[in-house]
Amino acid sequence: MTVDAGFMTPGDKSWVREWLFTIDHKRIGMLYLWCIMAFFAVGVFLGLLMRLELFWPGKDLIGPQEYNAVFTLHGVIMVFLVVIPSIPAAFGNIFLPLQLGAEDVAFPRLNTFSFWLYVIGGGTALVSLFTGGGAPDTGWTFYVPFSSVTTTNVSMAVAGVFILGFSSILTGLNFIVTIHRLRAPGLSWARLPLFAWSLYATAWIQVLATPILSITVVLIIIERLLGMGIFDPARGGDPILYQHLFWIYSHPAVYIMILPAMGVISDIIPVFCRKSIFGYKTIVGSSLAIAFAGSLVWAHHMFVSGMSDTAVMVFSFLTFVVAVPSAVKVFNWLSTMYKGSIRPEPPLIFALGFIFLFAMGGITGLVLGSAGTDMHVHDTYFVVGHFHYVIFGGTGFGMFAAIHYWFPKMYGRMYDRRQAIISALLLVVGLNGLYFPMYLLGLAGMPRRYYDYLPQYTQLHQFSTYGSWITLIGLGLMCYNLIRSRYRGEPAGRNPWAAATLEWTLPSPPPTHNFDQEPVVTHGPYEFGEVQDDA
């Protein structure tokens, strides 16, 4: 047996060929991870800029046009470049084949191609800021008619979105085929780790919903370039149809964002409670149910757009239905913890932060899902607070939990656990400070996307901005801890958490070719009886 020091170590080829043109799923995952973190930093910076501008009423830092561009960029970068690919493209690529006992994903070259599409799409979106008529100012939803008439560089930005969508589709396609075809002997569907199951549900949404976004952005481009008038009522078009098409993708997209995070949490909680997951089958079923029902609720974004009352009631009802499987998961996690032997390690702390923040966002989702209350808070800061709780508190925390859970596996080193826990707590406090005032602002009537506001909102805006500083400190501490530990951390063994899924049977970091022999799976992913602790 040859000694392989892990997939991270340099080989004999040039760095560019080793990394940028690699077909190794682990390296592609790492590339995604680094790119996503870089874009995340840009998105955070833009978010902070908005919070600073809103510290006092009136103009402080940037003017209205710049503000419009900043919230558009913040949205586009965070949604399309960070949150959607965050867990599936980064951790899915690294760990899905390992959890399946496979050598690689089903189509390794297609995987490289997906990564390159991501880079090209991200590049196109960024170039759109500095060329043409200036940075897009439409908001990340690109609503017509404004997006078809504004002179800013919308066409290029949506072209970037199209390319990113293609990348997302191909990743999802690759994962579905991988899960169907490349499971190790003995790894039946009922033994699949819940992270893999969540990626499976996510991949179906990616494959089935993203094409609708693709066609929608193509329509914006041809509308702008050729003046088609497909969404222009004067020429027989209909702008409401744009909203339908857009949300048919973009609502399921929030489940692309949240399902993998739920998968990460479902993998972490049993490990740190030393208990098999409570209700494995209901968690699997709820993932699939979310993927299915989540595709039927798009028009709850459009209660005030002038749809028929019947449509409003139907979509309101369906929106309540999709809350059920999410709640099922939360109850499963809590039941798993009940009478468990809990070890408060950093991944668990992040997972608990996830549950709390996700619940905060999920419950307010019901306020928005019922048409009556939605009329009151529609397009106010209440909505901003809601989706940031779900997306930053949910997907973001899922991402951080994943980083802290798999860090020793990826780098073969352990971070400072105390600092990690402190950063998690700082983030929970910071996010609540940042987003809770937004609920109150929204209830008080502060509209979203305004760069100026009436004086009575000042205090809550300032409170929110203080929260953003605490969040920044938390993020800073977390990054410092992780980056320092990548070079100086204590060496970690194969299985520091004594977890039972297949990736922990490999050395840390895993060798280039994954498993020397194809593993044969003899027990479920959360049966810890035979697992040896190897820190």
Partner 1 sequence: MHEHRDYQGAKMGMWLFLFTEILLFGGLFVLYAVTLGRFPIEFHEASKLLDVTMGTTNTVVLITSSLFAALAVTALQKGNRRLAEVFIGLTVALACCFLVIKYFEWSHKFHMGIYPGSADIADWAPGKQAFFALYYTMTGLHGVHVLIGMALFGWVWWLIRAGKCTSDHYVALENGGLYWHLVDLVWIFLFPLYYLIT
Select from 38-46, 71-79, 222-230, 428-436 the region that touches partner 1 (CB under 8 A).
222-230
177 binds partner 1 (CB under 8 A): yes
237 binds partner 1 (CB under 8 A): yes
Q: Residue 218, by phi and psi: left (phi above 0), alpha (psi -120 to 50) or beta?
A: alpha
Residues paired with residue 491 on neighbouring β-strands, in sequence order: 413
218 binds partner 1 (CB under 8 A): yes
Q: Least CB distance from residue 173 to partner 1, whole Å? A: 5
38 binds partner 1 (CB under 8 A): no
Question: Which distant-in-sequence residues (6+ apart) come within 8 Å of 439 by Cβ?
Answer: 364, 381, 382, 385, 386
Select from 42-50, 80-88, 224-232, 282-290 the region that touches partner 1 (CB under 8 A).
224-232
418 binds partner 1 (CB under 8 A): no
DSSP 62-106: S-HHHHHHHHHHHHHIIIIIIIHHIIIIIIIHHHHHHHHT-SS-S
- What is the rounded CA–CA span in Å between residue 7 and residue 513? 8
Select from 83-91, 244-252, 266-274, 498-506 the region that touches partner 1 (CB under 8 A).
244-252
Select from 125-133, 178-186, 312-320, 436-444 the region that touches partner 1 (CB under 8 A).
178-186
235 binds partner 1 (CB under 8 A): yes
| Binding test (CB under 8 A) with partner 1, winner from 63, 123, 185, 229 | 229
Say how many C-beta atoms besides its own lie within 10 A of residue 173's C-beta.
18
What's the Cα-to-Cα distance from 522 to each of 100, 130, 281, 500, rounded to whole Å?
Answer: 13, 56, 18, 11
Closest CA to 194 of 255, 292, 94, 261: 261
| Binding test (CB under 8 A) with partner 1, winner from 28, 46, 104, 350 | 104
Pick 206 or 423: Cβ nearer partner 1? 206
| Binding test (CB under 8 A) with partner 1, winner from 207, 307, 314, 323 | 207
Q: Least CB distance from residue 144 to partner 1, whole Å? A: 13
Q: Coil, strand, or helix at residue 116? A: helix
| Binding test (CB under 8 A) with partner 1, winner from 107, 320, 450, 515 | 107
- Answer for the pair 448, 379: CB distance below 8 angstroms, yes or no: yes
Q: Coil, strand, or helix at residue 490? A: strand
Select from 210-218, 282-290, 346-354, 409-417 the region that touches partner 1 (CB under 8 A).
210-218
176 binds partner 1 (CB under 8 A): yes
228 binds partner 1 (CB under 8 A): yes
Pick 172 or 442: Cβ nearer partner 1? 172
Select from 185-193, 194-202, 225-233, 269-277 the region that touches partner 1 (CB under 8 A).
225-233
What's the Cα-to-Cα distance from 174 to each of 180, 182, 203, 471, rounded to whole Å?
Answer: 10, 11, 8, 35
* b/e map 283-293, b = 16+ CB within 10 Å: bbebbbbbbbb
236 binds partner 1 (CB under 8 A): yes
Cis check: omega of the bond before 525, within 30 degrees of 0 = no
- Answer for the pair 377, 443: CB distance below 8 angstroms, yes or no: yes
245 binds partner 1 (CB under 8 A): yes
Q: Least CB distance from residue 108 to partner 1, whole Å? A: 8
Pick 107 or 450: Cβ nearer partner 1? 107
513 binds partner 1 (CB under 8 A): yes
- Answer for the pair 364, 439: CB distance below 8 angstroms, yes or no: yes
Residues that bind partner 1 (CB under 8 A): 103-104, 106-108, 110, 169, 173-174, 176-177, 180-182, 207-212, 214-216, 218-219, 222, 226-230, 233-238, 241, 244-245, 248, 513
